[in-house]
Structure 1
């Protein structure tokens, strides 16, 4: 009879092509009085769990996950942490849409028509999701994100094996280096996926070394986590993007927080108005619809309040186990 050292339950979904493996049960309580403290604990102590569920043989190089927790704030419904193959993240847009959709579809949150509202306590701040319900079925979801802003504009960066590029740094729940893809001689098309990943990781290492960042009101957010390649859109899309992060992950969706960062950048540059629909397309051709619905301040920065709309679909239910005799039981990654 098999005896397993771990048994973890998840529900999997995808949002515009990007997976979310939502951890529902099987982990001990996470210490911390705030969600930021729990996020810090996860980064220090839950790397093994992250590798177990994100990496091979249970996951893959581009897997993404979320951990559902009790809320730390009385004005929220759940706590939510996010992870990829390399680390735990402060916020994720596609993962918020996937999590909210799964909670309503599974009856973990009572479905209310026409919209079911779920407030998440994340390490980037409170995020409010609205799940669109009709005749008992989820048809889509949108979320109002944390305030987003342009952090730095028109920075020159020398990148080994790439050359000199010009980029912006913007915040949309995570810090992004935003790079027009033509600067690296590539296109946001599936045939360039591997090269985009390789170049993106070189840029990510170089930009973090050259340009330290610090969120003005969230002291735990102090690094650039993602590179967002951009190019003009077609067929009704404003722009197309490819976001590189983690251990070389390439977001299959248009990236929710990346879309927020991009809208904040464009707004600051006078190229996107409040209340205007913004259609953002992924490398697969899937789309999010964004909109800026308000202005605010984050420390010294002029900021905006973004909303992102998309759709997620449940793909499976899993009970993952670890056999203590399995030499690869904690997971591995080949990239």
Structure 2
């Protein structure tokens, strides 16, 4: 038997398709993942409890790397059953399971429109196609809730049109804290702070909880322009995240009003409002550097971070909060703007108990295919199921 066919059909093989959004990978699991039951959040808990070795197998070395990202398709959830969603998904990081992911949603939008394999996407024929706009609409059930995705298509709606951006409307997003002082104990300070013992940051939710802080505030006066000292910023954001998480007085900043499973600080995003150029008829731009999960670095501008960022601008009463804005990562900024996300206010949903506006945000971006694969573990493999990250050995 041919070795390629042998590996792809071997017992325990997990078949995936790989995509990227502004360089940020999404490894989409198509076949080979065990059955999960219950609500999507219950499925997420079961994946963490009983099948985490599969996440490690797909994302960590030797089949992945520290910054690999993954998505597990879940066709049977409470929202797909009642007809509100076409597909459910669980998101995987280097350290666990996130509650929302904008870059992966953009990739999944294209893939779900392009596939006609009913064993992978049973509700494919239920996706609505608008011949006038040449776009298809589908509901994606993410752990944080229902996300409405619009995918541009060819003339008959059978394939996506990669020349136009995929967009999605976020779950209700809101600010939780403005200009919050974060005290830093001696063991949680970094060299660039000098003599300072605290920093000031903003906190907001866009499907996951984010802490936003300017590069200058954490001791990097050049911001995110030119060559960025990633190692130093990694240290600073890691210590800042630890300081927030260790302070019980700050717990309210990442407490979700509806689900305890959503209540954790996912990321520190370093912001530079003076870096980056506007694209796609937007009026303003900024560049962000996102450290999420276990200090994983997002190559994309971070879609759920854009939702949280627009909610934050609206809470601050920025005159430009209702306008289209460009959000760059270091990658898109270095490529002359290619791959930047566009964020804009979609609608208002009310106010939080702290009188911050609750909004939904339209996020636009591009994703591309990079390949397909079947992952296996041979019986003779000296590592077996013991995956690793080299810098953490």
The TM-score by the shorter chain falls in which range? over 0.9
Note closer, same or farther for the CA distance 1:191–1:6 as it changes in structure 2 (3 Å cut). farther
Does the C-alpha gap of structure 1 residues 314 and 299 become closer, same or farther in structure 2, counting only changes over 3 Å?
same
Unaligned regions of 5+ residues in structure 1, if any? Answer: none
Q: How many Å separate the matches in 2 of 1:200 and 1:5?
A: 42
1:23 is aligned to 29
How far apart are 1:274 and its partner, in Å? 5.6
Native 8 Å contact 2:107 2:368 kept in 1: yes
**Alignment-derived partner of residue 52 in structure 1:** 57
Match of 1:98 in 2: 107
Alpha-carbon distance in 1 for matches of 2:62, 2:319: 43
C-alpha contact (below 8 Å) 1:204/1:225 kept by paired residues: no
Query: TM-score normalised to the size of structure 2?
Result: 0.80
1:227 matched to 2:268? The reply is yes
Tell whether 2:244 aligns with 1:207. Answer: yes
> Which structure shows the bigger proportion of residues in strand conformation?
1
Q: What residue in structure 2 maps to residue 304 of structure 1? A: 359
Distance 1:147 1:204, change over 3 A: same
Q: 168, 183, 187: which is aligned to 2:202?
A: 168
Aligned mates of 1:317, 1:247 — CA distance in 2: 26
Structure number with the bigger relative contact order (C-alpha 8 A, sep ≥ 6) is: 1
Distance in 1, matches of 2:160 and 2:94, equals 32
Listed one character per residue, the Cα deviations across residues 278-314 of structure 1 (whole Å, up to 9, x for unaligned) are: 1111111230001111111365253111010000000
Q: Does residue 219 of structure 2 align to residue 188 of structure 1? A: no
Q: How many residues matched?
A: 334
Kept in 2, the 8 Å contact 1:296–1:302? The answer is yes
SS in 1 for 2:240: helix
Q: Deviations over 1:251-287 (max 9, x none)?
A: 0010000111111111100115564101111111230
TM-score for both structures, normalised by structure 1: 0.93
Q: Report the Cα distance in structure 2 between the residues aligned to 1:153 and 1:248, rounded to whole angstroms.
A: 23
Worse-matched range after superposition: 7-16 or 202-211: 202-211
Higher Rg = 2
Tell me which moved more, 67-76 or 131-140.
Answer: 131-140
Supply the distance in 1 between the matched residues of 2:382 and 2:202 (Cα, whole angstroms).
44
Q: Could you say which residue in structure 2 is the equivalent of 1:314?
A: 369
